[in-house]
Amino acid sequence: MRKLNSIFLPLFISSMIFLVSCKSDKEKEIIIFHAGSLSVPLKEIATQYMEMNPGIDIKLEGAGSIACARKITELGKPCDIMASADYMVIEKFLVPDYTDWNIWFATNEMVIAYHDRSANSDIINSDNWYEILSDEDVVYGRADPNADPCGYRTVLMFKLAADYYGKEGLDEVLTTKDQNMIRPKGVDLVALLETNSLDYIIEYKSVCVQHQLNYINLPAEINLSDPAFEELYNSVSMDITGDRPGETIKIQGGSMIYGLTILNDAPNREDATDFLYYFLGERGRAVIQKHGQTPLSLYLSGSGGKVPDTLLDLIDR
């Protein structure tokens, strides 16, 4: 018996050391709060990165960008990286208390998505879409402006459309209709469209590409995609719910720019920095483009002195 113990005890101890070592590796997490419209490309990029770095476990939490920010500011949830569909969410909610900088990395555009059995799908186009959506027999969905930039960009797009098509009050008609079909984030609407519960949804072009949805392109004057129309986009605004009860934040129209940052108290700053270097590099940008977004020349807003040097090397300055 003693001989058996002398043989198996070292094996047992070695096995325990191995298991503890494995557990330690898995505990090296990178926590990313991100816009729902980034779910598909981020999952692909994160999978690539983890295959190259087996000791890293990337935790992706998708939600409306404002909801992501509130997880940090109101709930105090740990987070390494915040990636927003609107760089202004980081500016308004996280700077300067939670981070000091923001990298702009991609753009997008608003479209009208539909399925083959959508009411009037055979006649809808970029000139009459607002008439189709206004029809009482048509049901359309949109994101919550207080949780998701796709939601407030939808309302801003409606305001621009009222002027562009010369239809005074169009934005009020569209925002008061089908309010029971407002969801916390735009990608929540995709399943409702795919199951024919909705005729149309207001969505980002990238989400439509990722989910192979039919969609109608909108004029650049209203789709918030073209910096050449920045002054026109700036002419509209709306208020959303602020951090404190009764507080509101004014959101002004502007061309779509996605932003990201590493939080000041990131639990795993070193690995988060390394992942962002991969994400913002050639392979990451290729994945972003494949999934329907246009990568931008990287631009830094905020305190460059606090940005990791490896990321500064990627930024056009």
Element (H, E) at 273: helix 269-279
Question: Do residues 171 and 180 touch, judged by C-beta distance below 8 A?
Answer: no
DSSP annotation of 306 reads: G
Quickly count: other Cβ atoms within 10 Å of residue 218's Cβ.
23
Contacts of 288 (CB under 8 A, 6+ apart): 41, 105, 106, 295
Element (H, E) at 101: strand 101-107
Instruction: Please say if the pLDDT value at position 12 is more than 80.
Output: no
Sign of CA dihedral 240, 241, 242, 247: positive
Burial class (CB in 10 A: 0-12, 13-18, 19+), 299: middle
As its CATH architecture, domain 110-252 has: 3-Layer(aba) Sandwich (3.40)
Q: Which amino acid is at 12?
A: F
Domain ranges of the chain: 24-107+257-312, 110-252
Residue 25: pLDDT band with limits 50, 70, 90: very low
pLDDT digit string (tens) for 104-121?
A: 999 999 999 999 999 999
Distances (CA, A) of 164 to 223, 232, 244: 11, 10, 35
For 58-68, b/e burial (b = at least 16 CB within 10 A) is bebebbbbbbb
Burial class (CB in 10 A: 0-12, 13-18, 19+), 23: exposed
Tell me the pLDDT of the chain averaged across its residues.
92
Percent of the chain with pLDDT over 90: 87
Q: What is the mean pLDDT of residues 26-35?
A: 89
Q: What is the mean pLDDT of residues 58-77?
A: 96
Sign of CA dihedral 233, 224, 46, 317: negative
Q: What is the pLDDT of residue 4?
A: 44
- Which residues face 291 on adjacent strands? none
Instruction: Please say if the pLDDT value at position 10 is more than 90.
Output: no
DSSP annotation of 261 reads: E
Residue 302: pLDDT band with limits 50, 70, 90: confident
pLDDT digit string (tens) for 258-292?
A: 999 999 999 999 999 999 999 999 999 999 999 99
Cis status of the peptide bond prior to 96, with omega within 30 of 0? yes
3-state secondary structure of 195: coil
Nearest to 224 by CA among 146, 154, 134, 171: 154
- Of residues 7 and 33, which shows the higher confidence score? 33
pLDDT digit string (tens) for 122-175?
A: 999 999 999 999 999 999 999 999 999 999 999 999 999 999 999 999 999 999
Fold of 24-107+257-312: D-Maltodextrin-Binding Protein; domain 2 (3.40.190)
Contacts of 171 (CB under 8 A, 6+ apart): 155, 158, 159, 161, 162
Q: What is the mean pLDDT of residues 58-62?
A: 98
Packing angle, helices 269-279 and 39-52, rounded to 10: 110
Q: What is the pLDDT of residue 317?
A: 58
pLDDT digit string (tens) for 83-92?
A: 999 999 999 9
Same fold, 24-107+257-312 and 110-252: yes
